[in-house]
Chains A and B, each alone.
Chain A
Amino acid sequence: MTGTGEPPAGADRTPSGAGAGPGADGAVPLLETRGCGKTFGGVIALRDVSTRVRAGEVTCVLGDNGAGKSTLIKILAGVHPPDSGEYLVDGAPAAFTSPRDALDRGIATVYQDLAMIPLMSVWRNFFLGSEPSRGWGPFRRFDVAEARRTVRRELRSMGIDIRDVDQPVGTLSGGERQSVAIARAVYFGARVLILDEPTSALGVKQAGVVLRYIAQARDRGLGVVFITHNPHHAYPVGDRFLLLNRGGSMGEYGKAEVTRQELISLMAGGAELEQLAHELSREEPPVKP
């Protein structure tokens, strides 16, 4: 809730506000988990995870497959309550019984596969479930003109260049789809945006596009939870990094406390593999003249 209202002109890569550093402690975090745990039958999916999500900050949740990322976002999104520990929203304990409850408190989740309905147009998808209407009684109707206008305006204000809001969402690329879903959450008053692996299925350029919209949302003062297994995607946009491994926390770091290389080496084997791939791909162009 600190002074993040006015985005700094131009520079959208610099972390806004005080980041994870010393100054931010005064404000009440939008979301906070204290020692949260969750078990499914005999399986401990998550144990003793504590983190904070502040307005105007991007909290990255990093971990390999099976690290507990999905369980953590399901707790944050109101799908499951935690079995142990506390989940606080605006400093008060949250008792969500459904994702709808979380949504009503301004916590919006964009799932990778559940984001959009492919055969429906962009504007129909954008307003699905919250269609603007006009008229009264039996003549109440979906205000189609208003919907189209709003979608065009909102997408443009987020810098999303969709050629035609009438095209089916299925014809959009993966990155465009995620971007529209983010714009939708922002438009409907989300204060916290939970993004489930928004870049994992995307190519390099597309991932860059989505990262830019994450930065946009952050600059508008939203708290963003960015789940990913790719430190190269997390590092440029993140302010805090929560590392998960096998259901437990491996620590949370502010951007000032960790370098990209450290972040990569903190992650488990899969990440080393990625680093290798990254290094290999850098060798192709002539290194230095």
Chain B
Amino acid sequence: MTVKTAGPGADERLASTGLARRLLIRPELGAVVGAVVVFAFFAGQSETFRSVDGVANWLDPASTLGIMAVAIALLMIGGEFDLSAGVLTGTTGLITVILATRYGFSIWTAMLVALAVALLVGFLNGLIVVRTTLPSFIVTLGTFLMLQGINLGVTKALTGTVQVSGLRRAEGYEQARAVLAGTFSLGGADFRVAILWWLGVTALATWVLMRTRPGNWIFAVGGDDRAARAVGVPAERTKIALFMTTAGAAWLVGSILALRFTSVQANAGLGQEFVYIIAAVIGGCLLTGGYGSAIGAAVGALIFGMADKGIVFLGWDADWFRFFLGAMLLLATLANRLVRRYAEEVRH
């Protein structure tokens, strides 16, 4: 196969395997197949699931999860994890609500402050990881616990309870809600605006990943950090930017949820960090970095949304959702492993 002087006959044969290979190693292929199967399964049994209202219903949880899954996918392609991302959605929501309801900030200013805090957390996560070369798993586990403590401690100290509420009264609420947490009509059903944000974030992330220089660097620092540095890739800046992107996404999701519910629980976002990672892995991201896709992660989130609501529509016990999650994760990891071995196989 590696003989350089292969005749024209051999080339034709290679061309056909090349096409099959190119399709097979698309990272999002597994997720797309999975999504089709899951949709067929639930749509076949539930009238509600396949109605326009049903679609609007299951796209809703998929959208907020999807925004985070896409950001986490970029980070994972860059070879890092962020366990603090889930709790950070709670932190940003709490900051916005507290500032807007207790300190008289307009909602936009409050959100701006929350964004600054989120970006700072992301920056620190990234800085510690690249400067110490410690595993990001441990570093962000530390931030995760610290943020969890702050969320609870500050909320209790300020309100005496474990939630802050009353965002509806804040200045600029209706406007902000329309932009981030409103609805739009399509085909007789009300869809959440968050779905558009989800699509936008996915499109932007895909463009950055596939068509920009930083996109090339993300693949490189995740694939082989040392080799990337050797050819002059700014590996540290790339990784810090990825952590800040994840934090920015957490702020977006935190704001969307705070505006929708007008209150935030002190433990909001807790436990979601693994769901983001699972969605990214189902979408074709390798845990070892260097490979994956933003579209795949978005489809991974879609599978979650469908299963989350589909199980309810079928009248099953919601506990089965957990079982489903585990099974999907295991299947996806096995599939990814095969793909990676196929892609990395050295031909002699």
Contacts and interface: CB of A to CB of B under 8 A. Distances in A.
A119 B290 contact: yes
A120 B22 contact: no
A128 B347 contact: no
A170 B343 contact: yes
A164 B230 contact: no
A258 interface: no
A282 interface: no
Tell me what chain A mostly uses at the interface: helix, strand, loop, or mixed.
Answer: loop
A205 B232 CA distance: 32
Nearest to B344: A170
B182 interface: no
Contacts of B290: 117, 119-120
A111 B226 CA distance: 12
A133 B213 contact: yes
B2 A119 contact: no
Contacts of A118: 223-224, 343-344
Contacts of B343: 118-119, 168, 170-171
A131 B211 contact: no
Residue of A99, A111, A115, A131 with most chain B CB atoms under a 10 A cut-off: A131
Contacts, number: 109
Interface stretch (B13-21, B150-158, B268-276): B13-21
A163 B14 CA distance: 8
B231 to A, nearest CB: 4
B233 A142 contact: no
B2 A170 contact: no
A209 B4 contact: yes
A205 B2 CA distance: 9
B191 interface: no
B319 interface: no
Contact of B228 (A117, A127, A130, A131): A117
The size bracket of the interface on A is 35 or more
A170 B2 CA distance: 13
A163 B227 contact: no
Interface residues of B, number: 40
Interface string A76-112: 0000000000000000000000011001000000010
Interface string B193-224: 00000000000000100111101110110011
A178 to B, nearest CB: 12
Given A117-B228, A141-B211, A163-B11, A203 B348 contact: yes
Contacts of B226: 114
A155 B252 CA distance: 45
B260 to A, nearest CB: 30
Contacts of B2: 173, 175-176, 205-206
A161 interface: yes
B212 to A, nearest CB: 5
Contacts of A124: 216, 219-220
Contact of B348 (A100, A130, A173): A173
B345 interface: yes
Residue of B2, B15, B233, B290 with most chain A CB atoms under a 10 A cut-off: B2
B327 interface: no
Contacts of B3: 205
Interface of B: 1-4, 6, 11, 14-15, 18, 21-22, 25, 207, 210-213, 215-217, 219-220, 223-224, 226-228, 230-233, 290-291, 340, 343-348
In the A-B complex, the 10 residue pairs with the closest CB atoms: A129-B231, A170-B344, A129-B232, A117-B223, A173-B2, A131-B213, A119-B290, A117-B224, A119-B223, A168-B343
16 contacts: A114-B227, A117-B228, A118-B343, A119-B223, A119-B291, A119-B344, A124-B220, A128-B216, A130-B231, A163-B18, A164-B22, A168-B25, A168-B343, A171-B344, A173-B346, A205-B3
